[in-house]
Structures are given as structure tokens and as C-alpha cells.
């Protein structure tokens, strides 16, 4: 049930994004139509806005979907974007939970039996090396390589 709700929410989000993009394209076509008898297509021919002279000197306007396959393509791209965004958010949440779990296990003692107050090998306090295999001497600062003796 949870998975079906999740898929439904992704489809709904993609549908909302598609509606926003289609409406924006239609508004673009509307405002870029300048003449009394003109046909303007937008969104790669997906939506159309057409004006023509009407009765008593007025202007009649029609709008609609010209090619539904373009709209379906936009929906597919929006769905792909929503799925990728969801995957990234879930991975970051999983990573955050893992780091919080590690932090809490470090605060209560390590699982491997070592002392929790000792620095972790990957911590900032571990000795660093200037190059692979060359440890830094703890008594002096690392050389920059400019002065040779």
C-alpha cells in the first residue's frame, strides 16, 4: 500500500509539472500572437493559439492541444525528473540516518570494542601523509618542497 501511494504521488507530481509547463507554453503562445489572423504553436507544436477576425470587428481566439504525443513526452520527462529527484532525496536521507547511527554508536562506545575516547582512524587527529606511503614526522611541519638541503 505504501509503495502504491508513493508511485501515485510521483505520477501526480509529474502531472502537475506537465500542467504548469503546458499552461506556460499556452500563455507564451497567447502573448506572442500579434495579428488578427495568426496561428501560434508552442511547446514543439503541442499547444496552439489561433486568432481570426470575428463579428462586428472583434477578434475570436481559439486554443487547444495540437499534438498530444508532445504533451505525453513532457509528462514522461517530468516523471523521470520526479523519480530521479525522489531517488536522490531518499539516498541522502538514508545517508543521514547512517551517519546519525554512527554518531550515536561512537558516543556510546564503538561496536568493535575499542575505546570511544580514542580518535577514529579516519578522524582529523590521525597522522596525515604528504604523499602515499610517506608519513609526516610529528615533530616538524611538512616541507613544501621549495628548500632542499
pLDDT tens digits, residue range 12-50?
Answer: 999 999 999 999 999 999 988 887 778 889 999 899 999
pLDDT tens digits, residue range 52-86?
Answer: 888 888 888 889 999 999 999 999 999 999 999 99
Q: DSSP string spanning 100-115?
A: HHHHHHHHT--TTS--
pLDDT tens digits, residue range 116-127?
Answer: 555 555 555 555
* 60: helix, strand or coil: strand
Share of the chain above pLDDT 70, in %: 72
pTM: 0.65
CB 70 within 8 A of CB 78: no
In angstroms, rounded to a whole number, what is the distance separating the alpha carbons of residues 138 and 148? 20
Amino acid at each position: 500500500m505504501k509503495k502504491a501511494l508513493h508511485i501515485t504521488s510521483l505520477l501526480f507530481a509529474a502531472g502537475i509539472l506537465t500542467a504548469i509547463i503546458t499552461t506556460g507554453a499556452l500563455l507564451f503562445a497567447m502573448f506572442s500572437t500579434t495579428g488578427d489572423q495568426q496561428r501560434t504553436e508552442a511547446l514543439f507544436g503541442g499547444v496552439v493559439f489561433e486568432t481570426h477576425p470575428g463579428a462586428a470587428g472583434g477578434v475570436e481566439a481559439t486554443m487547444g492541444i495540437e499534438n498530444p504525443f508532445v504533451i505525453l513526452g513532457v509528462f514522461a520527462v517530468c516523471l523521470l525528473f520526479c523519480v530521479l529527484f525522489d531517488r536522490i532525496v531518499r539516498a541522502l536521507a538514508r545517508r543521514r540516518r547512517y551517519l546519525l547511527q554512527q554518531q550515536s554508536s561512537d558516543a556510546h562506545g564503538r561496536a568493535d570494542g575499542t575505546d570511544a575516547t580514542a580518535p577514529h582512524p579516519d578522524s582529523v587527529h590521525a597522522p596525515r601523509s604528504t604523499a602515499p606511503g610517506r608519513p609526516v614526522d610529528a615533530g616538524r611541519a611538512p616541507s613544501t618542497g621549495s628548500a632542499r638541503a
